[in-house]
Amino acid sequence: MQGLRIAGFAPIDWVGAVFSTPLISLVLAMIAVGGYVAFSRPPRPALTVLSGAAGRSVNKRYAPERHALAIAALAVAAVFAAEDIVRGSGLVGDGAVPWWRFAIPVVSSTLAIGFLVVVIMLRGSGPAEAPVVTGARRTWTSFGPRVGLILWGVVFLLLVATTIGAGLTSAADDRGQYRWLEIPIPNEAAVDPIRLGYYGWAFGLPVLIAVAALLVTTAIALRRNAARPFIRPETVAAERGLRADVASGAVAVSTAGMLLAMAGAWRLIARAGSPAQLWIEGRNGGEPYEAAWRYAELATVAGWGAPVLELIAFGLLFVVTARLGRKRPSSPDEHRAELADAARAGR
């Protein structure tokens, strides 16, 4: 018995149609994160009690980079959406997938984290106001989220494996660019293979270069964030938490850029997952030649996995914007100290 079909589509086809564009994933992630922020409890005030002067020093140092990273994360999503809309509208190019299509989210993430590094160097670093001895050597992993770094490594390996695997199975076009997938016709050596657009070396090499730059930039950001001196002994605990927030946000933005690139690659690879047909006039009795890629099952899985990667990527970007874009809560004692300082200054 056949399943329910509406206008020639099965329910599973409608699901595939809904998630056929990354913009749907962006909207769903925005709704999910917005709903979570709207209905979740506000963050608890900082447990560390800071004097008015110490609180102002901490805020002066860390507020700019938190806000910069929040804006940069939102910019990564906006750049991706703008590129997808412009390319899909046909306003630029000849309709073919450009070589830089999959490198854009990685490049934008690299620029976002590079912007964070500049803010840390210009506004978030400086000599300690009082000697601080922590007794521990700080490295780029000191404040990095363990789970986030593991996820980053997994995504990095998957993206590199996807790029190399697709590149090795790609074929060159007439201009020598590896952007095709050739599917031979079974038992028909005299018939040219079917050629489909594919995530080959023409797209993969720019992605690998961009990922290398992202790796270096992320490591520099984590190193700069960890190695700078603390302000005062009494601010160490608060600064550790704030540096952990910055490191977590940087890793999330970096991971999101790679996820968006990999999702795009998986979408293009998925086009090879369906059987292909080739008609040749006067051949095969007017019937089409049937052909299927030997890795068609993997390509189909990649097509369903691409929207999941996009949802995770946009979710990470919007969470960074929501968390770091809000003002850091202060403890009641710190708030009272700030009001007392303001009152004295107004006399």
- The larger pLDDT score, comparing residue 37 to residue 110, is at 110
CA atoms within 13 A on the CB side of 275: 7
Q: Alpha carbon 308 to chain centroid distance?
A: 12
- Cβ(223)–Cβ(250) below 8 Å: no
Half-sphere exposure of 60 (CA within 13 A, CB side): 10
Question: For the chain, percent helix, then strand, then coil, each to nearest 5?
Answer: 65, 5, 30
Q: Is the pLDDT of residue 347 over 50?
A: no
Range with lowest mean pLDDT among 54-68, 156-170, 272-286, 290-304: 272-286
Could you tell me the pLDDT band of residue 44, with boundaries at 50, 70 and 90? low
- Quick one: what percent of the chain has pLDDT higher than 90? 40
How far is 218 from 199, CA to CA, in rounded Å? 26
pLDDT tens-digit map of 104-141: 999 999 999 999 999 999 887 776 666 566 666 677 77
Rounded CA-CA distance 219/217 in Å is: 5
Can you give the pLDDT at residue 163?
97
pLDDT at site 73: 96
- Total domains, the chain: 1
The pLDDT of residue 254 is above 80? yes
Mean of pLDDT values over 208-221: 96
pLDDT band with cut points at 50, 70 and 90 for residue 277 = low
For the cut 50, the answer to whether the pLDDT of residue 343 exceeds it is no
Q: What is the pLDDT of residues 292-339, one digit of tens each?
A: 788 888 888 998 999 999 999 999 999 999 988 776 555 444 444 444
Q: Is residue 286 part of a domain?
A: yes
Is there a contact between 151 and 255 (Cβ–Cβ < 8 Å)? yes
* Amino acid identity at 55: G
Report the C-alpha gap between 127 and 137 in whole angstroms: 17
Do the domain assignments include residue 212? yes
Residue 161 lies in a domain: yes
Q: What is residue 289's predicted lDDT score, i.e. its pLDDT? A: 65
160 compared with 291, residue with greater pLDDT: 160
Rounded distance, CA 215 to CA 253, Å? 12
pLDDT surpassing 80 at residue 342: no
At residue 9, the pLDDT reads 40
Which H or E run contains 226?
helix 201-227
Confirm if 262 and 155 have CB atoms less than 8 A apart: yes
Beta bridge pairs of residue 195: 182
Token pair listed for 218: 């992320």
**Residues 166, 248: contact at Cβ < 8 Å?**
no
Q: Lowest mean pLDDT: which of 21-30, 35-44, 305-314?
A: 35-44
Helices and strands (DSSP H and E) totals, the chain: 9, 5
Domain span including residue 73: 17-345
Q: Does some domain include residue 11?
A: no
Is the confidence at residue 220, as pLDDT, over 60?
A: yes
Q: Is residue 302 assigned to a domain?
A: yes
Which two three-digit tokens encode residue 102? 């999959």
Percent of the chain with pLDDT over 70: 72
Average pLDDT, the chain: 80
* pLDDT at 168 exceeding the cut of 80: yes
In-domain check, residue 8 = no
Reduced to 3 states (helix: H, G, I; strand: E, B; else coil), residue 334 is: helix
Q: What is the pTM of this model?
A: 0.84
Looking at residue 306, its amino acid is: A
What one-letter code names the amino acid at 128?
A: A
Residue 94 has pLDDT above 60, yes or no: no
Which pLDDT belongs to residue 313?
97
- How far apart CA 229 and CA 97 sit, in angstroms, is 47
- CA–CA–CA angle 329, 113, 111 (5° rounding): 135
Residue 39 predicted with pLDDT over 70: yes
305 falls within a domain: yes
Residue 109 lies in a domain: yes
Nearby residues of 324 by Cβ (< 8 Å), 6 or more positions away: 66, 67, 69, 70, 73, 245, 246, 249
Structure-model confidence comparison of residues 257 and 2, the more confident one? 257
- Report whether pLDDT(12) > 60: no
